[in-house]
Structures are given as C-alpha cells and as structure tokens.
Structure 1
C-alpha cells in the first residue's frame, strides 16, 4: 500500500518519503505475494490492472525518496519485489536506500527478537536525518 501511494498519488496527497518493510511491490505473477494481489486487485484482475499496480513500473522522477528493508531469507514476499523497485528508483534518479538483512524472515517489524532491530532503527534514523 505504501509504494502504491508513493507511485500513484499526486500533488498534496503524495507523501514526502516512503519507508518500506519487506514490501509487496509488484503484481506480476512470478514475484507477487498472491494473497496481497487478490486482496488488492480481486480474484481475476485484468492485465491492465496488474500493470497499473506493478509499482516498479510506475516510478517517475517525482516519486518520493525510499528507504527499503527486507531479509534475504524472507519466504513470504520474494526479494525481487524490493530489488526491482530499488533499481527503478535509481533509474529515475529517486534517492533510495535498501538494507537486506541476512536473516529474519518476514514480519519482523518492531519485534525485539529481531537480531538486527537496533541496526535498522539506527539506519532509518540516519536516513531520515539526511533527507533533503
């Protein structure tokens, strides 16, 4: 949802930045999170709808800066969601930072048990301080 807002909103509705935890970015069959796709687009979306909500395809030079976090061992949302989005942001010269933690799976968010919690908090705080 956050990347959809960042790539589809215009004017005053567009956020100043985006912070994405293990995001679902694409609706392409090979990389999407199937449940998310069905929840967002319905059971039988048209190809046009799928393309519209492949947010890596919707990035422009006006897309807000992004901070992306994921785990390399996430078996719920394929890492390609984040990788392809990050590459699209760079292609359009949108400031972006991506952190891939070696373990943690999916859904670690604010869990104190997440091995890299202090690290991601520090990295995010630094990124926010340096936003232009």
Structure 2
C-alpha cells in the first residue's frame, strides 16, 4: 500500500520484485496485491511528479533510469493485482499516472480495479470529505472479492 511517492515504491516492488539487488532468500518479495492511492507511477517527463523524480533520480536522469523507474513500462502478467484510487483534479500527481498503470495492467491481463474521483485533489487520505471518502469501503470490498481478507 502506498500513497503518492509511497505509491511509486509499492508499484516498483510489484513490477521489480524479481530483480536481484542482494542475495536471495527463501521468501519472495512479490506482494500478493497492491493498493495505490494517487500514486506516482511514471518518471516520464509528461506525467511525472517532478519533485519525486528529482528526489529519486537526480536533476538530470538518464533515459535508462527513467525507463526503469516508470512502472507502467515494467508491468507484465506476473505483476501484483492492484487497486487504484486517484482524483482527476490532482494538481500534484497527474491522474495519467494511474490511468497509464491501469492500462498496462489491463493489457497484461492483471486483475485491476480503479476508482477515479472528479474532486479530491492530492492528499485526500482516507477521504473524510466529498465523494473520495468512499474509497476505503470500496477497497475492503475489492480485498474480499479477491479472497485477500474475510
């Protein structure tokens, strides 16, 4: 589960869990599922959150690093099933991040559910105001429908 830049971290684990960065142990790093709330997905200049990209990759990232950390490009049929939430009026992290990830998951036949809210901006958290407050219940329903919780 991750919000904003934490969503990038969670999506990166879902798409790159099998990369060898240290000696393997017996426990798989692959998450059983991901819950991504207004996530930074892409490092592509057109849709990224600039501050997140600079913090992760520096001021002048290489094309290779941009591609590696653009999670919509790393999706395959083994990527973790995902629940996505975003508001279309998010001025910090463009909604296109969630849309591109959704499309990549769908193209690879990965189970995905996405909820887009017209209003909510960025940082609505548990959605105490407006329509975005419905996402926690929708998430629980998704978890139940995927037999991830009882």
- TM-score normalised by the chain length of structure 2: 0.83
Q: Which runs of 5+ in 2 are unaligned?
A: 1-8, 19-26
Inter-partner Cα distance in structure 2 for 1:118 and 1:108:
8
Aligned partners of 2:127 and 2:133 also within 8 Å: no
**Alpha-carbon contact 2:11-2:36 (below 8 Å) kept:** yes
CA contact (8 A) 2:87 2:118 kept: yes
SS of the equivalent of 1:51 reads: helix
CA distance in 2, matches of 1:24, 1:32: 7
2:134 alignment counterpart: 119
Q: TM-score, normalised by structure 1?
A: 0.94
**Is 2:49 the counterpart of 1:49?**
no
Name which of 11, 15, 31 aligns with 1:3.
11
Q: Tell me by how many angstroms 1:116 deviates.
A: 2.6
Unaligned runs of at least 5 residues, structure 1: none
Stretch of structure 1 that moved more, 118-127 or 58-67: 118-127
Moved over 2 A (4+): none
Q: Deviations over 1:4-52 (max 9, x none)?
A: 1111112710110000001100000010000000111122211001011
RMSD: 1.3
